[in-house]
Structure 1
Amino acid sequence: MTIALYLAHLNPVTHAHVEIITELQDLADSVKVMPVVFRSGEREINSKSFPFDYSTRKKMLESVFGNSISITDDYAFEAPFKKYLPPLVRSRSWRLKRQILHGVKGEYFSYTGDRAEGYMLKIYGLHPRVGQRKQISATSVKEKLFDSALNGGQEWKSDVPKKVAEIINESWGVVEKYAGIKDLTTRVAGMKFPKEGWSE
């Protein structure tokens, strides 16, 4: 049995994510999707780069795939996030690998469309397959969402599945909350982290 591990922001879920997961379903016997989560204690940390919380993103995925995929919060970083780096040296990085592989038995591989992230996955021994970046990115969709909240327009709706668009509309207060503020994000080793929780 081969398991595909898909670790991604999924913030929000786009047509590109759906395409990737569908392709992984064809390549593996099962697919475990892990939206990245940042926590400080019991509280999830969100920001302009990571506006939708885990439960909302899980709902987005379930609206498209139902129970045909496994969705978990095993790809979770606990503050202070800087203690995960550098990989191999920090014990937290190995704990993260154990979390990611929780419940995984048999052969597995991970997927990413980002070369830098693929390098990190290789360091962790997660057997990455690096695919080509899709035309639609979650970052561009977020920009359209924030522009819509500030200036109107619905261009973003063509980039996400219909049911995901409905969930975003239900959570529109989240979009409005982050639309007009600065993005407080730290990028290290090809990965993004919220500045809140980086060194607390």
Structure 2
Amino acid sequence: MEKRTAAIFLAHINPLTISHERIIKNLLLQNYSVYIFPVRFLKNNREVNTRSFPFSYEIRKQMILESFGYDEHIHVCGDYAFHSPYLQYFPPFVSPAFKKLKNKIMINIQENSFVTYTGDRAERVLLSLFGFKPIKARRQVISSTNVKNLLYNSVIQQNDMYDNNGYNEGQVKWSDFVSPKVMEVIKKNWEIIRAFSISKDETIRVMGMKFPKNGFI
């Protein structure tokens, strides 16, 4: 039986970009079983979404699975979930809630050995201190934030994605940075983008991590 190492990918993936897909493809080529954990923020067991985190876990899971043709070596798990009040996860290395979160993540891993992936240097240090064995990697140029900004600008300046999948003639388009499968998922859920394009960004950054303000305390 083929022996594999698990590669744990903890990320927002909101939405899935071609950079994310490149990371996942490279991990598969290196013979890893890839476990993807799109982060969730829960209040009263319901997911909290904001302008920074517009797409629900189920939509993001759909993006990943459809983009990779339901590859048997890709597992999308929902256990990277912060439950309100999010303040309980701080400080991260001594908080019982944070330790419980790690255990919930690890219970999904079927392989005997694992590594984690991150392109962020500070995050790699944190993961290392917490025993998550991060592998060294470069930060990808295209981020979900870039794509979200293009999506919101597309609504504000064009007000019709079907005329132009960007926001101005001759300028960069959001559709240039996602795969065709993801583009179709986004189009089917366009009302989410339309709604958040006119909303404030109700998030707060703590120790380099972004959380919804709703449910933090």
TM-score normalised according to structure 1 size: 0.96
Q: Say whether residues 1:2 and 2:8 are aligned partners.
A: no
Matches within 5 A, 1:178-189: 178-189=196-207
> 1:168 is aligned with what amino acid?
I
Q: Amino acid of the residue matched to residue 142 of structure 2? A: I
User: What is the alpha-carbon distance in structure 2 between the residues aligned to residue 82 and residue 27 of structure 1?
Assistant: 37
Q: Distance in 2 between matches of 1:49 and 1:149?
A: 16
Matched, 1:165 2:183: yes
Give the root-mean-square deviation of aligned CA atoms: 1.1
CA distance in 2, matches of 1:123, 1:195: 27
Select which of 36, 41, 46 maps to 1:38. Answer: 41
> Deviations for 1:57-101, whole angstroms, at most 9, x for unmatched residues?
000001111332000101111011111011121100100100111
Residue aligning to 2:98 = 93
Aligned pairs, number: 199
Distance change in 2, residues 1:14/1:90 (3 Å): same
Q: Structure 2, unaligned stretches of length 5 or more?
A: 159-163, 166-172
43-52 vs 95-104, which moves further: 95-104
- Aligned counterpart in structure 2 of residue 122 of structure 1, from 128, 139, 144: 128
Q: How far has the Cα of 1:165 moved from its partner?
A: 0.4
Tell me if the contact between 2:45 and 2:83 (Cα under 8 Å) persists in the aligned partners.
no
Aligned with 1:121: secondary structure?
Answer: helix
Could you tell me which of 15, 22, 40 is aligned with 2:18? Answer: 15
Once residues 28 and 193 of structure 1 are traced to their aligned partners in structure 2, the CA distance between those partners, rounded to angstroms, is: 33
Determine which structure has more spread, i.e. the larger CA radius of gyration: 2
The answer for unaligned runs of 5 or more in structure 1 is none
Tell me if the contact between 2:9 and 2:34 (Cα under 8 Å) persists in the aligned partners. Answer: yes
Normalised by the length of structure 2, the TM-score is: 0.88
Match of 1:112 among 111, 114, 118: 118
Task: Name the SS of the counterpart of 1:173 in structure 2.
Answer: helix
Shift of the alpha carbon at 1:175? 0.2
Moved over 6 A (4+): none
